Structure 1
């Protein structure tokens, strides 16, 4: 069976995927990015993050479906650019805002968080638990939070050309967005950049909202794994065909 590698969002860690991982058929794993979780304190660059994903793929046999949410989606895009032969397909979730969107605001927020990361971590932990009551929220914070790395993350994302990266990847790409996610704003540009892309909208969900229902998300990722391995769509949220460029 085709392995799956899952990539977490900014300031959290691989543990955010625990409720989804428990529902996925193995082989599947979640990776900690530099500066996060077990790699807290390491410098974050897009090159180092993509290499961490490639290492996780190699540990599972050398080829995998890669799925990431938010920062994880942007890292997934960088991974297919740098290691296309290792990625059998990419599921990029909540990451279709172009690199210049809100860059100034995010730099300011990241700078403020890094000035007092302990306070920022506590605020983030409280907010995540309120947003996702129960096991989903606990999974987000279980590996610790790393707000001190946010300035590096913002510079890495804004310094990477995601559309150019997608344009050189020959494999399948599924862009998955909550219908209420503000990061949808440039989804059609991202879709046009893909050589073999599909857009999937999850009704009623915001930026991180897909994590509130780990069962349906695990089924969706499992379906996309089957497609990446050569199977057919089995149900769930249906993809929209890629628009013509």
Structure 2
């Protein structure tokens, strides 16, 4: 049995291939790992982005088989950890808030700023301007990737294709989320993982207050694409979350065994 089932959600315009530096070490650590292409990205690049379709993909990866009898799906068996970065992080938070019992832990990376207000509108206007470029922004996308990422990381970002037409749909959908309210409804452990120099960590403390008991991991030297800039450190943060979920699953198994044996013990005591 694997230690955990981990589902990885990529950032906007990239695809599941951005996680290639996490797949091998996570699998080597005994984790069952699935990198998902969100709608309008990667293998699904011809589709329109929608939150509903994204949720369907996430749930299918987290819960590939009908759960056995129990309140928490396959718990206390294999823990399910959802990991999302940037767009994937916002989708992961909203999924966790609206699908109780479908996961056991959440890593929300590079998404510690509410997507709203002037910043959101400015981002939307910039995205619209970029889309009007002759190449719809592909050259600018690749140039920025080369500035901030290693050559290998750039290949990981573009290997699954670049979703040039997704910005309006995805940013508009995320802008409708009430991030703080969603965080307050989540009933599983949350880890916020941010690069030290990520411009999306401006409201980090606000997010921590919205999710009491959540933990913060700041990775030194990393920028927004933290899993690509510092892949080993990011993988270590995910494995730390896996270890905590394993510990919690072991406690639940012990509790289940105790509950199962309690009637037998009571019967023996009565007979004596």
Q: Same fold (TM over 0.5)?
A: yes
Q: Which runs of 5+ in 1 are unaligned?
A: 232-245
2:37 is aligned to 32
How far is 1:132 from its partner?
Answer: 1.5
2:70 is aligned to none
CA distance in 2, matches of 1:46, 1:191: 24
How far is 1:119 from its partner?
Answer: 3.7
Could you report, residue by residue, the CA deviation over 1:209-231 in whole angstroms, capped at 9, with x for unpaired residues? 44222222212211111112226
The one of 142, 149, 155 aligned to 1:125: 142
Could you report, residue by residue, the CA deviation over 1:14-41 in whole angstroms, capped at 9, with x for unpaired residues? 0000111121123001000011011112
How far is 1:97 from its partner?
Answer: 0.6
How far is 1:151 from its partner?
Answer: 0.6
Moved over 6 A (4+): none
CA distance in 2, matches of 1:127, 1:175: 25
Three-state SS of the structure 2 residue aligned to 1:22 is helix
The one of 155, 158, 179 aligned to 2:175: 158
The answer to whether the aligner puts 1:71 opposite 2:76 as a matched pair is no
**TM-score normalized by the length of structure 2:** 0.79
Structure of greater Rg? 2
CA distance in 2, matches of 1:18, 1:90: 20
Q: Which runs of 5+ in 2 are unaligned?
A: 68-78, 249-272
Is the Cα–Cα contact under 8 Å of residues 110 and 154 in structure 1 kept in the other structure? no
Matches within 5 A, 1:207-218: 207-218=224-235
**TM-score normalized by the length of structure 1:** 0.88
The answer to whether the aligner puts 1:173 opposite 2:190 as a matched pair is yes
How far is 1:116 from its partner?
Answer: 4.3
Three-state SS of the structure 1 residue aligned to 2:25 is coil
- Taking only aligned residues, the RMSD between alpha carbons, in angstroms, comes to 2.0
* Cα distance change, pair 142–195 in 1 and its aligned pair in 2 (3 A): same
The answer to whether the aligner puts 1:20 opposite 2:25 as a matched pair is no
